[in-house]
């Protein structure tokens, strides 16, 4: 498997510094958080996009995905959500990223069936555009659809090769799923896996990998046992927890921990 980290862990860091960190600490790729407070988002121009792509290419680092914030099950009109997804897809195409991330984002006043239908309808439209651009949309296990079982209710309705799943191991654990259950649900759709660690279900402050309660060993074992050879991406949520330790000093031991889990599961 190949290893990446998310720029959610280094909020606002210039791209040159992100690339340097990835190269220095032997990560194969980076997931770019696409938000206006970050250097890369759908509002940047073609020249800036070309510069970002060249920076990564010159260092031999892959841009794994564009982590957007479109909420595909959210109540309201379809067109603003589809416009947001199109912007993410075009950004991914221009940067050479194979994936974009979207959230479910179902509302509390919807039934599960209504949220599923809304998400499936919008994604069914968006995947046609994704196919034209050669990018894959990944629905993250998050918020209203935090388990693999919940995500597959939507993915199965659409049934398109340009739509897949992003397995966030914290959310499936918080949702009460075992790694083997999540993998069984998501395996036909799995794009990549976000790993992280936390102290408890009540305290989700990010911790160094291996120092918390999330079942990372079991997740890696399930993936290895089934011959999955995609990406593990460390999403360290520093942006939401200012008191958390800075990510740069944790990158090398984090990579070593993941490499150890992979070796022990081989």
In tens, the pLDDT along 12-40 reads 999 999 999 999 999 999 999 999 999 99
264 to each of 94, 105, 131, 195, 225, how far by Cα in Å?
Answer: 38, 37, 38, 17, 12
* 39-43, 107-111, 252-256, range with the lowest pLDDT: 107-111
Burial environment of residue 230 by CB neighbours within 10 A (0 to 12, 13 to 18, 19 or more)? middle
Count Cβ neighbours within 10 Å for each residue of 89-121 and write b for 16 or more, e otherwise. bbbbbbbebbbbbbbbbbeeebeeeebbbbbbb
Q: Supply the DSSP symbol for 91.
A: H
Q: How many CB atoms lie within 10 A of CB 153?
A: 18
Q: Return d(Cα 198, Cα 11) in angstroms, integer.
A: 19
Q: In sequence order, what are the beta bridge partners of 30? A: 5, 63
User: What's the confidence (pLDDT) of residue 266?
Assistant: 84
Distance of CA 109 to the CA centre of its chain: 26
Instruction: Give the mean pLDDT of 62-78.
Output: 98
User: What's the confidence (pLDDT) of residue 99?
Assistant: 98
pLDDT digits (tens, 9 = 90+) for 168-211: 999 999 999 999 999 999 999 999 999 999 999 999 999 999 99
User: What's the confidence (pLDDT) of residue 216?
Assistant: 98
Those residues with Cβ within 8 angstroms of residue 151's Cβ, 6 or more apart along the chain or in another chain:
104, 139, 140, 141, 145, 165, 185, 186, 189
- Is residue 219 within a helix (H) or strand (E), and if so which, with residue range? helix 216-225
User: What's the confidence (pLDDT) of residue 25?
Assistant: 98
Count Cβ neighbours within 10 Å for each residue of 194-227 and write b for 16 or more, e otherwise. bbbbbeeeeebbbbbbbebebebebbbbbbbeee
pLDDT digits (tens, 9 = 90+) for 76-94: 999 999 999 999 999 999 9
In this prediction, residue 75 has a pLDDT band, given cuts at 50, 70 and 90, of: very high
In the chain, DSSP finds a helix count (H) and a strand count (E) of 9, 8
Query: Phi/psi class of residue 220: alpha, beta or left (left: φ > 0; alpha: ψ in -120 to 50)?
Result: alpha
Instruction: Give the mean pLDDT of 55-79.
Output: 98
Please give the CATH topology (third level) of the domain spanning 2-265.
Answer: TIM Barrel (3.20.20)
Length of the chain: 266
pLDDT digits (tens, 9 = 90+) for 91-137: 999 999 999 999 999 999 999 999 999 999 999 999 999 999 999 99
């Amino acid at each position: 498997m190949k290893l990446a980290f998310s720029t959610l862990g280094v909020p606002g860091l210039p791209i040159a510094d992100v690339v340097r960190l990835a190269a220095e600490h032997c990560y194969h790729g980076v997931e770019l958080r696409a938000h206006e407070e970050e250097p890369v988002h759908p509002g940047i121009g073609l020249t800036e996009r070309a510069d970002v792509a060249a920076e990564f290419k010159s260092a031999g680092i892959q841009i794994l995905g564009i982590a957007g914030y479109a909420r595909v099950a959210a109540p309201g009109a379809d067109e603003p959500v589809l416009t947001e997804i199109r912007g993410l897809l075009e950004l991914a195409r221009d940067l050479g990223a194979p994936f974009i991330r979207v959230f479910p984002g179902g509302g509390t006043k919807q039934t599960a069936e209504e949220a599923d239908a809304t998400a499936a309808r919008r994604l069914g439209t968006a995947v046609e555009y994704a196919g034209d651009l050669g990018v894959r949309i990944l629905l993250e296990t998050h918020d209203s659809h935090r388990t693999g079982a919940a995500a597959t209710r939507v993915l199965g309705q659409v049934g398109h090769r340009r739509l897949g799943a992003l397995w966030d191991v914290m959310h499936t654990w918080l949702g009460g799923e075992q790694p083997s259950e999540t993998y069984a649900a998501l395996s036909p759709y799995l794009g990549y896996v976000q790993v992280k660690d936390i102290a408890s279900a009540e305290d989700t402050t990010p911790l160094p990998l291996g120092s918390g309660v999330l079942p990372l060993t079991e997740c890696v074992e399930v993936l290895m046992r089934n011959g999955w050879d995609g990406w593990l991406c460390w999403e360290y949520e520093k942006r939401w927890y200012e008191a958390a330790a800075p990510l740069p000093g944790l990158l090398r031991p984090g990579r070593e921990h993941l490499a150890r889990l992979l070796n022990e599961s081989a």
